[in-house]
Amino acid sequence: MQQNPPKNMVPDVSERLHLVVDRMLEPFGKAGVRNRATTLSPDPFDTTKPNQHDSKAEFQRELDVVAGSLARLDEALDLLGSSEEDVEHYAMLRRLVPIIDQKLRRGAPRGGLADSTELIRKNVAEVGGYTGSYFVILDFSFALTERYQELKDQEEKFWNINHRAPDYYARTIALRLAKLFAREVGQRPTYGTAAIGDHPSTAYGRALEQVFEILEIKQKVRTHAKWAIKQITDEDITPLPVNSLSAMMGLSHSRPPTDNVKRVAQALLDKRSTD
């Protein structure tokens, strides 16, 4: 049985969640999942928010910044890179590149190079600041493109709805805990209430109530627990063997590149032709 921490120690959130999971699984003769926790993921299950934003205004603000920045970066990439077919623009860049390189070398940091950021700036300037900066902008554009796609997916799922949205965080946490229960115990979780007090009477229900309290989710457990239980499939109860999962990894299809990614990739090819 899991020992409780000393009374003079207050467990952190991850430890409290592990204790809840331990108690949930113990009646079924199952151990907890502590051996699977890592420094990067110390919790027994994912506790991050699915939509990452607390309001539509907060979401829209990030979307506007990402979309606006991406448009301006792409415009800069178009202007700073060119194929040899555009003779006049190509000739202009051939004159501009050494001028910018010289200015970057002259303005590169000289002191405080123990700071990694300053050292990077100095190295970029010394190896050819124009080309190095172009590639950094290109990488930044790729990253923003991926984030833009994530935000558009979130917009469709969480924000473009005509009815009152459920508490997605409460719903997601209930489902993640239900999946953990199904995977570890090998059966579908259940939900019931005590005859007196209307408190959860099943291992999963009691655990979810405690998890909501730890994560400060101000929602009634019953609605979200019953919804989560309905989502559990046979695959959740009997996971595929590891070798089958490994085989399936080779069948996954990557996301097709967006038009913007294709255009940026072409800009990269164009720039290489100028070197």
What is the value of pTM for the model shown? 0.55
Give the pLDDT confidence score for residue 268 in this predicted structure.
Answer: 45
User: Beta-carbon neighbour count of residue 184 at 10 Å?
Assistant: 17
pLDDT the model gives residue 5: 47
Per-residue pLDDT 10s for the chain (275 aa) are 445 545 455 579 999 999 999 999 999 999 889 888 777 789 999 998 877 787 889 999 999 999 999 999 989 988 888 766 788 988 899 899 999 999 998 888 877 666 778 888 888 888 888 988 998 898 899 899 989 988 988 888 788 877 666 678 898 899 999 999 999 999 999 999 987 877 899 999 999 999 999 999 998 999 999 999 999 998 889 865 544 333 333 333 333 344 544 454 455 445 445 55
Can you tell me the distance from the alpha carbon of 121 to that of 136, in angstroms, rounded to the nearest whole number? 11
What is the predicted pLDDT for the residue at 10? 55
Ordered by start, the domain boundaries in the chain are: 13-44+177-239, 56-162+257-274
